[in-house]
């Protein structure tokens, strides 16, 4: 499939339009006894298509060169602003020993934190605990828990 005509209805939609259509579509499906879950499944596929197009296009040298020709390396099309920016910048600090020492201390503290968190997840009352490495006496309180129930999707 190479015809992109099926995408035409999306060209002039703003972010607000998309949000409104999504809310109305789900509300209408529920109110009219239609399969809202089927609508969610279609939305997941549309989102996946959009992400794939964006990922492929964002890394395409042809697309980057086309945008580079634009005034200020920025272009607005179909109510979307496209621009070129440096992304994913990484720095390597491994040659600075002091940073390696700090990272080692952070790793050790993160490990200790995880130990205490695991205990706090399972206890029901205040608990005194002796840290096996440091011998430090620690009071641990039960962790509060909150969660949200949601539909998880996976395209087959």
In whole angstroms, give the CA distance from residue 32 to residue 39: 13
| Weakest-pLDDT range from 23-27, 67-71, 123-127, 141-145 | 67-71
More confident site: 16 or 72 = 16
- Give the residue, 147 or 71, on which the prediction is more confident: 147
Expressed in percent and rounded to 5, the helix, strand and coil fractions of the chain are 55, 10, 35
Q: How far is CA 1 from CA 4, 22, 39, 43, in A?
A: 8, 26, 22, 19
- Give pLDDT, residue 1: 52
6, two tokens? 């099926």
pTM score of the predicted model: 0.64
Using a 10 angstrom Cβ sphere, with 0-12 exposed, 13-18 middle and 19 or more buried, the burial of residue 68 is exposed
Q: Which of 93, 99, 90, 70 is nearest to 82 (CA)?
A: 70
pLDDT in tens, 47-72: 999 899 898 988 888 888 888 887 77
């Amino acid at each position: 499939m190479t015809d992109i005509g099926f995408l035409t209805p999306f060209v002039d939609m703003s972010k607000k339009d998309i949000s409104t259509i999504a809310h109305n579509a789900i509300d209408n499906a529920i109110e009219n006894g239609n399969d809202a879950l089927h609508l969610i499944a279609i939305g997941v596929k549309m989102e996946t298509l959009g992400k794939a197009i964006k990922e492929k296009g964002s890394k395409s040298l042809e697309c980057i060169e086309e945008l580079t020709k634009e005034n200020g390396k920025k272009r607005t099309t179909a109510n979307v602003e496209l621009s070129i920016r440096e992304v994913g910048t990484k720095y390597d600090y491994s040659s600075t020993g002091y940073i390696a020492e700090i990272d080692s201390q952070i790793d050790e503290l993160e490990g200790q934190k995880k130990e205490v968190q695991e205990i706090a997840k399972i206890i029901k009352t205040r608990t005194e605990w002796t840290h096996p490495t440091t011998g430090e006496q620690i009071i641990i309180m039960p962790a509060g828990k909150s969660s949200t129930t949601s539909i998880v999707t996976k395209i087959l």
